[in-house]
Structures are given as C-alpha cells and as structure tokens.
Amino acid sequence: MTTQLKLPIALRDSASFANFFVGDNDELLASLAHLGGPGANGNLFVHGPPGAGKTHLLQALSRQAIEAGGDALYVPLS
C-alpha cells in the first residue's frame, strides 16, 4: 500500500487584499484582484526585495480565486 505524504502547505488566514498596505500601487492591486476573479486566467511573475509583500499578495490572490470557485495552488519554494 502506498502512503501519501502531507506537505505543510496552507494559505495564511491573514493574507487578503483587504489588509494589504498598497502605498502607491493601487493599479497593481486592482490588476491582481481582477486576475483572481471568476473566469480570469493568465500568468503572473512577481519579484521584489524581501518584505515587499510578495507572499501576502500571492496568497491573497490564491484565496480569492478559490473563493470565486476557481482553482489555485500556492507552493512556496523556500
């Protein structure tokens, strides 16, 4: 019998667009929110320095897509 390994991968409950500090990036946040909406698809490349909020935004995007009935997978590479 084969056993499936469980990976410790989960979205943080606190990661959402509502509690992300946007600063001067209103346009970026609107684009990301649209990408996670119903029927949306596309590719996304996110980069920036440590502490910029990349993980928060990707997890918020994944959460929004799942809540809209879509599929999303967030896999940290660290």
Instruction: Specify the 3-state DSSP secondary structure of 25.
Output: coil
Vertex 51 angle, CA 46 and 57, to 5°: 45
Residue 5 resides in a domain: no
Q: What is the CA radius of gyration of the chain?
A: 14
The verdict on residue 2 lying in a domain is no
Residue type, 7: L
pTM, whole model, 2 decimals?
A: 0.72
pLDDT digits (tens, 9 = 90+) for 31-54: 777 776 666 777 777 888 998 888
Per-residue pLDDT, 37: 67
Residue 3 lies in a domain: no
Q: Is residue 1 part of a domain?
A: no
Helix ranges (H only) for 18-67 are 26-35, 54-67
Range of the domain at 70: 12-78
